[in-house]
Amino acid sequence: MVQRITLPSLQKRADALRAAGYNGYLLAARDVFLDMLTDSGVNAMDAEQYAAMLRADDSYAGSESFFRLLGTMEKVFGLPYFLPTHQGRACENIIAHTFIGIKNVVLTNYHFTTIKAHVTKFNGQMENMITDEAFAPKSNHPFKGNFDLKKLAKAIETFGRDHIAFVRIECGTNLVGGQPVALENVREVSKLCRRNHIPLILDASLLSDNLYFIKTREDEYHDKSLAAIIRELASLPDLIYFSGCKFGCAHGGGMMTADEKLYAKLRELLPLYEGFWMHGGMPAREMEAMAVGIEETLNLDVIAQVPMFVECLGKLLVEAGIPVIRPFGGLGCYIDAAQFLDHVPRKQYPAGALAAAIYLVGGIRCTEMGVLSQQRNADGSEFFPPLELVRLSIPKRVFTLSHMKFVADRLGWLFRNRHLIGGLEFTEEPPLQRSYFGKLRPLENWPDLLMAQYSRDMPDGI
Ligand SMILES: Cc1ncc(COP(=O)(O)O)c(C=O)c1O
């Protein structure tokens, strides 16, 4: 689908940003030139997906669209049981309901916000066990999403297997730079879980990029087909779930397993939260599009597109001297905002300020992934996550390489003038999900100084 976009004038961008409280989530899409906020639900579908949508069967029960999707999941993953849901977090709700009780500890390579929210809602506790390399922005480790197996074994011993609800592995990781997980690591985690009788759940939302990295970075898999790699991966956990807004390029999600008893347990909750179990709240046309999108992940050209665009943009940013998380991963380019704005204290939200400045100079909307998107500690103090990032997401098949050049050009200008950017403070701070709903203001009116310099350097006002 092709859509017209416009770059509002500098003054219009400044006005829109102020009205949005310096929060990209509150900007109207009409005021955005390049939308790099996320890929969720905004990946472009291809002609085959649109064609498939036309044959959607909307029958409430037993629709052909459901059976086609079921058949695709079985063909791709080799797992017989599949349940559709309306989004990835809907699976997480059902998983938390099913698994968390007396056993309430969840060990994960790295959490995503939605799973953490569901686990904690059920009085569960989530612990990250990712390799330390993940927090070294300059480390070139090819699989920074890997579990640290020693930390995991130790945690199983410390918490005790009778207190661990499940182990979750996110392939690849979202909040730590789109970094992938090696198949070898999944194999070892699976062995450890089986030995200790702990269920292993795999979040496959970012699997498309992760597959590309297994194939291209893991020696053992260079010569294996993507179909064989997925089958091997799928044989390791007890349950796989995903956001179809990311994996499958449609709108929906789902869970699959080879365990009939687990399937029956999960299925009971579907009508309660999602809809009839043969659609789980997904329109039939989305099931059709998702089936085609998932089958297309078996094609290397299809899954290579995002990692190649990330690498292209990443290299341009590095040439401009900008600190980018290495090695380049999936989903988008992640900028180390703590280093980019090393003069802005973390309590003044450097990633939030950088995201606002990027919109101001280029009409580019990106995601803050630092202190601002964390909830405060119980005593009201700020929670400081290990990384302070800004993510420039690259939705699948949406941008051209000239868009990437434009982004690198505007970020290059911003980096040369970074001393003009200051911090932010809240004017409206809701206690929950402040990054979605909160409003802020710049400290010491730095946007005016930035705009004045920008107008001198770019007199056409664009
Ligand atoms: C790794 C991961 N898991 C789960 C989700 C939640 O999926 P959804 O947005 O479809 O609810 C996301 C969404 O971005 C994600 O990145």
Check: pTM over 0.75? Answer yes or no.
Answer: yes
Token couple for 162: 């009778």
Question: Are 378 and 370 contacting, i.e. CB atoms less than 8 angstroms apart?
Answer: no
Q: What is the distance in A from the centroid of ligand 1 to the CA of 143?
A: 20
How far, in Å, are 325, 421, 458 from residue 343 at the CA level? 19, 9, 25
**What pLDDT sits at residue 461?**
61
Classify residue 133 by burial, with Cβ atoms within 10 Å: 0-12, 13-18, 19+.
middle
Q: d(Cα 408, Cα 414) in Å, to the nearest integer?
A: 10
Helix/strand/coil (H, E, C) string of the chain? CCCCCCCCCHHHHHHHHHHCCCCHHHCCHHHCCEECCCCCCCCCCCHHHHHHHCCCCCCCCCCHHHHHHHHHHHHHHCCCEEEEECCHHHHHHHHHHHHCCCCCEEEECCCCHHHHHHHHHCCCEEEECECHHHHCCCCCCCCCCCECHHHHHHHHHHHCHHHEEEEEEECCCCCCCCCCCCHHHHHHHHHHHHHCCCCEEEECCCHHHHHHHHHHHCHHHCCCCHHHHHHHHHCCCCEEEEECCCCCCCCCEEEEECCHHHHHHHHHHHHHHCCCCCCCCCCHHHHHHHHHHHHHHHCHHHHHHHHHHHHHHHHHHHHCCCCECCCCCCCEEEEEHHHHCCCCCHHHCHHHHHHHHHHHHHCEECEEECHHHCCCCCCCCCCCCCCCEEEEECCCCCCCHHHHHHHHHHHHHHHHCHHHCCCEEEEECCCCCHHHHCEEEEHHHHHHHHHHHHHHHCCCCC
Tell which one of 37, 39, 40, 367 to mutate to probe ligand 1, the residue whose CB is within 8 A of the most ligand atoms.
40
Q: d(Cα 229, Cα 233) in Å, to the nearest integer?
A: 6
Question: Are 65 and 124 contacting, i.e. CB atoms less than 8 angstroms apart?
Answer: no
Question: Are 262 and 83 contacting, i.e. CB atoms less than 8 angstroms apart?
Answer: no
Q: Which residue has the tokens 């990633």?
A: 351
| Binding-site residues, ligand 1, Cβ < 6 A | 40, 87-89, 112, 114, 170, 174, 203, 205-206, 243, 245-246, 253
Tell which one of 246, 282, 393 to mutate to probe ligand 1, the residue whose CB is within 8 A of the most ligand atoms.
246
Q: What is the distance in A from the centroid of ligand 1 to the CA of 89?
A: 6
Question: Are 239 and 256 contacting, i.e. CB atoms less than 8 angstroms apart?
Answer: yes
What is the residue with the minimal CA distance to atom 16 of ligand 1? 174
**What pLDDT sits at residue 85?**
98
Q: What is the distance in A from the centroid of ligand 1 to the CA of 46?
A: 22
| Domain range 10-39+304-457, CATH architecture | Alpha-Beta Complex (3.90)
Q: d(Cα 36, Cα 41) in Å, to the nearest integer?
A: 12
Q: Which residues 6+ apart lie within 8 Å of 251 measured at CB? A: 41, 86, 87, 244, 245, 282, 283, 286, 290
Q: d(Cα 336, Cα 402) in Å, to the nearest integer?
A: 23
Token couple for 313: 């943009």
Q: Which residue has the tokens 């091997």?
A: 232
Q: d(Cα 131, Cα 146) in Å, to the nearest integer?
A: 6
Q: Which of 170, 181, 174, 212 is nearest to 308 (CA)?
A: 212
Q: 10-residue block means of pLDDT along the chain (462 residues)?
A: 89 97 98 97 95 97 98 98 97 98 97 94 96 92 98 98 97 94 98 98 98 98 98 98 96 97 98 96 97 97 97 98 96 97 98 98 97 93 96 96 97 98 98 94 96 90 64
Token couple for 185: 């690591």
Tell which one of 174, 249, 274 to mutate to probe ligand 1, the residue whose CB is within 8 A of the most ligand atoms.
174
| Domain range 47-298, CATH architecture | 3-Layer(aba) Sandwich (3.40)
Question: Are 82 and 254 contacting, i.e. CB atoms less than 8 angstroms apart?
Answer: yes
What is the residue with the minimal CA distance to atom 5 of ligand 1? 88
**What pLDDT sits at residue 1?**
74
Token couple for 242: 């995903």
Domain boundaries, the chain: 10-39+304-457, 47-298
Question: Are 36 and 309 contacting, i.e. CB atoms less than 8 angstroms apart?
Answer: no
Classify residue 158 by burial, with Cβ atoms within 10 Å: 0-12, 13-18, 19+.
exposed
Token couple for 342: 């090393």
